Homo-oligomer: A and B are copies of this chain.
Amino acid sequence: MTAPDLITSPGLDALFTPRGIAVIGASRDPAKLGAALARSVTAFPGHVALVNARDPEPAAGIYPSVEEAAEHGPVDLALICLPARACADAVAEAAKAGVSAAVVYGGGFAEAGPEGERYQRELADVVERTGIRLLGPNTSGFLAPAHGLTASFVPGAADVPAGRIAVVAASGGVNHALAFLLGEAGHGVSLAVGLGNSADVTTADVLDHLAADPHTTAVALHIESIADGRRLADAVSWLTTTRPVVALVVGRHDVGAFAASHTGALATSWRTTRAALAQAGAVLVDDERELVDAVGALSLVRLPPAADPGVGVVTAQAGPGLLLLDDLRGRRAAVPELTADTRRTLADVLPPLTYQANPVDTGRPGPGFAAVLEAVAADPAVDLIAGYALHEPGAFDLVEAVKTARVSVPMALGVGGAGDDVRRARRALLDRGVPVTGDPSGLAAMTGALLADARARSRTTAVPAVPVHVEVGPGPWDEDQAKTLLAALGVQTMPRRTCADRTEAHRALAELPGPVAVKLLDAAVLHKTEIGGVRLGVQTPEELDAALDAIETAGGRRFLVESMAPPGVDLVVGARRDPVFGPIVLVGLGGTTAEALADISIRLAPLSVAEAAAMPAELAGHALIDGWRGGPVLDRSALGEAVAALGDLLAAHPELAEIEINPLRITAHRLVALDAVCIAAETTEPLQEKVMTDGRTHQ
């Protein structure tokens, strides 16, 4: 893993840690944006200058221009509170006055039709010409509590406490909503940024900045749309080497029209984006609440990298413990058996009627609770304790138990209860560096996040493409050529003959083992089954003639004759070029049901064989490929090699748009490609006609 190039380009220090600020368009009308910003920056400890070209009052500190303002102190950052049409000039003027960064708050840019698009292009031009860094337009700004800077117009934003979590949100509204939630949860923020339209500064730029931010220990990421997916994935990969990233991606369902109105960009494929972020090491969550718990926990604790860390579950109440365990199982958390030693120790500490497996149910918690935590933590299979207890003032002091327990692994805790007293207890635990939340599902979210981060770091994510020494040629490719390509990549196929006429087909039938499939062979025909161009199970010369008749009727002039594969379970695997992320690979189950459910695993290519081999485990229907009802078991490493090779191929050959094996059959002894399609990058075949999609096009 190497640092991304842009680390060395003009950074964002001037934006987020300026020495001085100018509010451009500062207003005396308290309802105006310019007045709100002027109020927000009053607490900033550095130089603050208000600028209003039409209503200057130098005596009250309101200057007619940035230039003049800059004479009275350093101005690194300009906060532009002007209508869209005036912003480009204002940014240019600021840059000329030596300002290094700007925020443009107002809307009316790319999200608002052709005129707005023009205004946004003008802003981008100024950025390119001057090198100034620009946040926005169409954002409520950012908060940097550690620097005393509230560059936001949202009332109450200044009250968000300083903390260790950075928020990087596509939307200004979500940025503030998350910052408030993190404040309420006792965490606060180190920096909280709403990107808005991203005319210059992107999510990836902010992530790069955070990789060197001493105040930030974890990052909450909110994604609506992405311009450069690879750049984002690289930034996340780099950042997660030092700081965990928790990501919430919008657009699982169809929200396209509203999303476009919001930032002027189309929503990115939800599945591909999630897959790419997970592959880059981010922890994915489903909603804001889970985000707050997950990033809160990861801001305090990070497990060592591990493929499958074990969770010791300790609960003072069985019912909430059961909710927790159910949720953890859904997250595929390992809740390992405790050793006989551990259970002996627990038996000494706990009353006889308590459940002393994993979970450990302490019954009414007492002074032995600390000893239980110690015993479970000491179990060799336990890497993390997830503990739940109702707060019981006067009866049981969980904080004291945590203080006195010599616990050798990290803990995450849920403390149920209401009122100031329980809030103080949670505060005390947070102050000791112990992640804490109020209920079992929050605790499961915290635990799941710690596990997901440890698992992600146990994988090698950055893999250089393996040079592929394959003659690809210009295309189009027929099935035989596609299979020749597969063979060169190490993917097995059945014995086959290409036949220019019926005589050759009869010779092939005679020479090939077993019954054969007979197929129309034509690079121009992508869906030969649908036009009657495939006949299966042909055994006799008479059957072959009938098959050839049918295929000729369907327009076939050349034939592929191929030995039938043994029965098995079918997969669909492929590699294609995503418009946002570039080369990706996909693995799904064969058949229409899996297709209708969009049950597909996705990764960016190139990728390691191990990473590719892990893809099928993500499929909802993965039980089918593990010997379902006595059927064959998938050879994961063979699959990994095939999928990684397809990815390497696409990465190395820009002339290829897509290659798909459908089906790739799992038989008792090996993986066999039964059909394959290669598509050239020039093809006009629309994406939605492909057999394999990520599900969005069908809904």
Residues of A within 8 A of B (CB): 31, 36, 107-108, 111-112, 116, 154-156, 159-160, 169-177, 180-181, 183-184, 194, 222, 224, 248, 250-255, 257-259, 261-262, 287-289, 316-323, 325-327, 329-330, 353, 355, 357, 359, 361, 363, 390-395, 416-419, 421-422, 438-442, 589, 591-594, 596-597, 599, 620-621, 623-624, 628-629, 698
Contact = CB atoms under 8 A, between A and B. Distances in A.
Contact of A319 (B108, B171, B416): B171
B624 A592 contact: yes
Given A107-B363, A597-B597, A321 B418 contact: no
B323 A174 contact: yes
A416 B176 contact: yes
Contacts of A392: 154-156
A418 B326 contact: no
A418 B184 contact: yes
Given A261-B355, A593-B593, 10 more contacts: A156-B393, A156-B421, A156-B422, A171-B318, A175-B319, A252-B329, A255-B329, A288-B441, A289-B441, A597-B621
Q: Which 5 A-B pairs have the closest CB atoms?
A: A171-B319, A173-B317, A253-B329, A174-B319, A287-B441
Contacts of A390: 154, 156, 173, 176-177, 180
Contact of A253 (B330, B357, B363): B330
A320 B174 contact: yes
A420 B83 CA distance: 34
Contact of A416 (B177, B248, B252, B698): B177
30 contacts: A31-B395, A36-B395, A108-B353, A155-B391, A156-B393, A156-B422, A160-B418, A171-B322, A172-B317, A173-B316, A174-B319, A176-B317, A177-B319, A177-B416, A183-B418, A184-B418, A184-B438, A252-B329, A253-B329, A254-B329, A255-B325, A258-B357, A261-B355, A261-B361, A591-B591, A591-B593, A592-B624, A593-B593, A597-B599, A623-B698
A128 B329 CA distance: 40
Contacts of A255: 322, 325-326, 329
Contacts of A173: 316-321, 390, 416
Nearest to A626: B596
Contacts of A357: 257-258
A81 B591 CA distance: 61
Instruction: Indicate how many identical chains form the complex.
Output: 2
A176 B259 CA distance: 41
B156 A417 contact: yes
A678 to B, nearest CB: 23
B592 A250 contact: no
Residue among A254, A322, A592, A621 having the largest count of chain B Cβ atoms under 10 Å: A322
Contacts of A154: 390, 392
Contacts of A248: 323
A422 B177 CA distance: 12
Contact of A629 (B254, B393, B592): B592
A212 to B, nearest CB: 27
A1 to B, nearest CB: 31
Given A160-B418, A287-B441, A421-B156, A321 B258 contact: yes
A275 to B, nearest CB: 18
A391 B156 contact: yes
A438 B181 contact: yes
Contacts of A416: 173, 176-177, 180-181
Contact of A596 (B181, B287, B628): B628
Contacts of A257: 357
A318 B261 contact: yes
A101 to B, nearest CB: 23
A353 B115 CA distance: 12
Contacts of A438: 181, 184
In this complex, which of A111, A319, A422 has the most chain B Cβ atoms within 10 angstroms of its Cβ?
A319
A182 to B, nearest CB: 9
Nearest to A174: B319
Contact of A177 (B325, B421, B439): B439
A357 B418 CA distance: 41
Nearest to A181: B439
A138 to B, nearest CB: 9
A159 B419 contact: yes
Nearest to A699: B623
